[in-house]
Amino acid sequence: MRFASRVQSRNVLRACHSNSAQNVQEFDALTEKYEELKKENESLIDKYKRALAETENMRKRSERLVEEAKTFAIQGFCKDLLEVADVLDMALKSMEKEKMKDDSLKNLYEGINMTKSSLMKVFIKHGLVQIAPEGRKFDPNFHEAVYEVPVDQAEHPPGHVSHVLNVGYCLHTRPLRPAKVGVVNKPDNTFFLKAKTWQTDEETVVDPMDHLFILIIMDRDHHRHKHSKSKKSLDENRHSRESKHKNGSKKHSGSYKHRNEKRRHRSSSSSSLSCEEKRSRKRHSRKKKYDLADATTNGDISDSAGTSQSLASLLKINKIKDSQDSSKQPTAHCIRTDELKNGQDISEDDTEHSKEDSPKKTIQATNIPFPQSFTGQSSTWYDITIQPLPPPPPPVPLPPPLPFSYLSCIEPPPPPPPPPPVEAIPSTGVLASPKPLSIPAPVPPPKRFRPYVLKPRDLPKISEGWGVGTADKYRIIEQVGEGTYGQVYKASEDNHCQLVALKKVRLENEKEGFPITAVREIKILRQLDHPNIVKLLDIVTGKNAPGSAEQSPAQQSPNIRNDFILKQKQRSYFCNLPSSVASSFYLVFEYVDHDLMGLLDSQLVDPSELQVASLMKQLLLALSYCHMRGFLHRDLKCSNILISKSGQLKLADFGLARLYQERLYKIEKPFAEQQPPELLLGEERYGPWVDIWSAGCILAELFIKKPIFQGQTEIHQLEVITSYCGSILPEVWPGVTELSGWATMRPRGHSSRKLREKFSFLPAQALDLLDLLLQLDPTKRPTASHALNHPWLIRVEPELVPPLKLPQDQDCHEMWSKRRRQQVRLSLASSTSQQIERHFNTSTMKQFDYLVIGGGSGGIASARRARQFKAKVGLIEIDRLGGTCVNVGCVPKKVMYNAACHAEFLRDHADYGFEAPLVKFNWSKLKQTRDEYIRRLNSIYQTNLEKDEIEIIRGKAKFAEDGSVIVQGVEGQQQCKGTHTLIAVGGTPIIPNDIEGAEKVVVVGAGYIAVELAAILAELGSETYLLIRFDKVLRTFDDTLSEALTNQLKQGPVKLMTHTKVKKVEKDNVSGKLTIYTDRNAVLESVDQLIWAIGRKPLTTELNLPAVRIETTEKGYIKVDEYQNTTRNGIYAIVAISAGRRLAHRLFNGEKDNRLLHENISTVVFSHPPLGTTGLTEREAVDKFGRDNIKVYTSNFTNMYFAMTTYKEKTFMKLVCAGKDEKVVGIHILGMGADEMLQGFAVCVRAGLTKKQFDELFIRPQQKS
């Protein structure tokens, strides 16, 4: 018992020990897991902290970038406004200089003033006021901006105009504050400027222009009388100051040097007149006199008490400000007025000089005019001379606040005479020598203090009398161009018989003055001087247009027709503008005989490769010069490229050009064929590469004589571009996904770059240059300078190249070319067409996104699918909806085929045990029910179109030259225009015209329609003959099935006659029966109907396709590519229903590569028996893969249905396989149920199944061996 108890205790201890060891192990494991979790937790905490820090840094960085972007954007805006103001000032002052009193010039003057006033409103809105120059006559060659910000920069948030604009073209990156300056006399009687900057106490030699202040040293005694106060107030001020000094106040230390070191002068761009007066009054109230000995002790220059005169009066600049708010204005740049005596430094002391002291001589430092006084970051020398100051001028009256009249500034006052030179200076005077002082070269401050200054561009000299002439001295010969911004005339100068081009500026759309495009063109062309850029000769004005109807008959050109003059009168400014601005404004250019568009369109020139290279080099030379000067053309096209009779190229029309900067631009250029893809995708930061793309388009056009990319809309233009240049992908174009139009405008799908393939006929080096210029990524395009070094152009010398053989008796311009084409069209058009054109010129045109011509199954399916994508759709149809398929094709044929199948079943009913009498067939009943079913389908189509809000237009369609469609209907005529137009008109049976016989016949042939109708009619009890010209039917189908079906037809009930042609048809006028004579001397008599099925022809004859340059085959079929595109952009053509739906997906859902693959389309012939085929025939497979790679499997069997019938019908099946894995590429079936089985088999072929996989399928007919 005890032993058992001991054993039990031992077991318990062992168990406890075991459990304890296990618990220890578990505890250790948990401890390790806890440590791991702890480390993981600490790691996550660290990651979280780092993420928070990164988020905060990103937030600060984004805020900084936003502020920088704001500042960056408004900087360019202000600069553009200043450029416009400069041009308007130049025009106004030029007119004032001429002093012409002509009413027309006065009206123009007032019109420009209206523009100037409008610009002033914009300036005031953005915190800008004008500083009108005073005392200086206007000089058009002196390019000086006179605008500044009258507010303290510190009072406005970042991005305000005050932070980026100071005075004129000085655009500062930070607010400026002046240094403290003194003039120190060295022992060798030379002087230097000593300054203490506002951020450091280090003394250094400072360039005054670095901080934009002007040092003026004057005698204070000349101005004390203006600020003297009563003796009582002076004593009180002195007593207060002395008491505070005795009490130890640091603010009133006796040393002005110590106080000057503590003071910080603030600087801003605003006027400081009232603040300076306030400080002057406070200093002069102390009535302090400065002693020479005290000044020698201190050795520095303190604040002057004589700066009562404002900065505007000293510098001859009249600053406009509001006198009511002048006391609130902050201080301006530091203006120092100090006295230098006895050749030593000057300081301030409490001693006084008597009022009887002689006037002190002064040193006056003056600056060079600001815009021309420095270059970039260079220093500026000051001319410091010793001269006595003139007596103080009277106070300058403040001008009224803005806006003020610019007419009051016609005659600015003359500048005051300079002060007389000092002949001698007493030994007790300020200086012992009268010679001018020389200041050593100043050392610039650290770069962190130096503002970023943009230097104004130098303008070319303007010839005397430029811009003040009138248009009366020119006589218009003819109009050679017209655009959005004005008309261009060929004219001659009466005095010199020189041909010029007058560009009339269009003002009827400008509500507040002169158009900005003309201002840009004038300003830019004044700064460009290049042999390949058209020259602006003059700007003239006139109330009456030169050569207009108001001139004498002798002055009028005989080439101007009365209707043209009437048209110009209708466009007169008097109908659109008030009388105050009813003047004409003309830009006078050198006349160039031809433009490139007129030459290429006229087909009168055929340039060689060398001549094309010469033209391209001249164009790139002009672009390189423009880009070097910082200008973008932005409207480069053939009509803006002029060609002289000597073959020299000149770039013209700078109305859309502008200065290039790294800033956001508005895409002002309308949609054009030469527009690059980055602009179509919404890029707003663009540069010279936009002109390079346009140059590439012009290079291609020089070879092919037509635009390379002819899109109708932006989306279509991108599709055309990608079809040549490949898909727009981030791999090809980094950063394209960041463009604003990427999500909505980018073409869908993928296409490879085919530019070299489509232009393989070009010379190799020219093709290489074209490929470089038309790169999708703008950064990969070469610059104009780099393109000039291309091997194709580098050795071309345009002056040595033989000139083009240009027409000498005709100037080829864009307008002449358009008129020429119009005359040709009018001469070829009929009188009815002319009436239609005149009618539609005054009618309203309906606009659609998608216009479908043809209400068949394909057109309706495409229209409804496009409507699902929110497109505005119109459908034109003159007949019943549904087209051939519903009304006279597939639907009625299938109804009759089903009736024929019933006849077959009734024929076999006895074999299946049905004893029934012969059933009579009723043709009229079948026709009635068939027609009712078709009318029901027409009604369903009508309801669906109306439910989808598709407009149905009833009538016959006909194309006009502009791509619109003229619809002739019962209710009259109307005109429609579609962004995309689909032709889905179908076809009509071909009626032979070489057969003698009846006038009206029904055509039947030996194709699938003939086979179907012959079998139907035979099964329904008619005695049917089928005449074919060859030995078998369906010759385009697989040979095995074609032969099998021919054998089936020979067995009956169709009577097949092979190798037979119809020779003659006669009709009995009494019975109406036909007699048919064949070429084999066979005669078929008493024929009730003759059906011709020899094919169909398209219904395209009445569409007037040549008017829109759509190419067709000899038989009238429209040529299309694999995407249903015709030869005219925006017009498409389809045959199949599926193609129409896929086209709608591609056009309106962005699925660029969505197209119909015709090689795997299933086809069923509803013959008896039916025939179905999908994929390639054996002959097509051999041609594609080769005989050795093709294996054919055939099988023929009897369908189980015929196991019980007397009539036996075989079923034939054929599989065409390709490759080692025996991929099924074609399936062909002839027999009962072939039409239904083919649906599953077509999926197998499309999926690429092999023969082995096909054997596992159970989609097969029930068969009997």
Contact 220, 303 (CB under 8 A): no
- Bridge pairing between strands 972-983 and 845-853: parallel
DSSP 8-state symbol, 1119: P
Amino acid at 1206: T
Strand partners, 486: 483, 505
CA atoms within 13 A on the CB side of 1071: 11
C-alpha–C-alpha distance, residues 892 and 937, integer Å: 11
- Residue 572 region by backbone torsions, left for phi larger than 0, else alpha for psi between -120 and 50, else beta: beta
DSSP 8-state symbol, 1004: B
C-alpha–C-alpha distance, residues 332 and 347, integer Å: 24
C-alpha–C-alpha distance, residues 965 and 853, integer Å: 9
C-alpha–C-alpha distance, residues 1255 and 243, integer Å: 121
Residues 6+ apart with CB under 8 A from 1209: 1048, 1169, 1198, 1199, 1202, 1231, 1232
CA atoms within 13 A on the CB side of 653: 20
What phi and psi, each to the nearest 5 degrees, are found at residue 1264? -135, 120
Amino acid at 735: G
Taking residue 739's Cβ as centre, other Cβ atoms within 10 Å add up to 20
Number of H helices, E strands in the chain: 30, 41
Closest CA to 1152 of 752, 839, 856, 786: 752
Q: In what order do the strands lie in the sheet with 1171-1175?
A: 1163-1165, 1171-1175, 1223-1230, 1210-1218, 1190-1199, 1263-1264
Q: Which residues are catalytic?
A: 635
C-alpha–C-alpha distance, residues 252 and 964, integer Å: 89
| Distance linking the first and last C-alpha atoms of the chain | 94
Tokens matching residue 87:
């041009």
Residues 6+ apart with CB under 8 A from 400: none
Contact 1109, 1127 (CB under 8 A): yes
Contact 713, 793 (CB under 8 A): no
C-alpha–C-alpha distance, residues 491 and 498, integer Å: 8
- Bridge pairing between strands 873-876 and 987-989: unpaired
- Bridge pairing between strands 1210-1218 and 1055-1057: unpaired
CA dihedral 1154, 1155, 1159, 1160 (to 10 degrees): 50
The verdict on whether omega for the bond into residue 1053 sits within 30 degrees of 0, i.e. cis, is: yes
Amino acid at 888: V
What phi and psi, each to the nearest 5 degrees, are found at residue 907? -65, -30
CA dihedral 949, 950, 955, 956 (to 10 degrees): 170
Burial-class residue 371 by CB neighbours within 10 Å (0-12, 13-18, 19+): middle
What phi and psi, each to the nearest 5 degrees, are found at residue 28? -60, -40
| Residue 958 marked as a ligand binder | no
* Binding-site annotation: residue ranges for ATP: 503
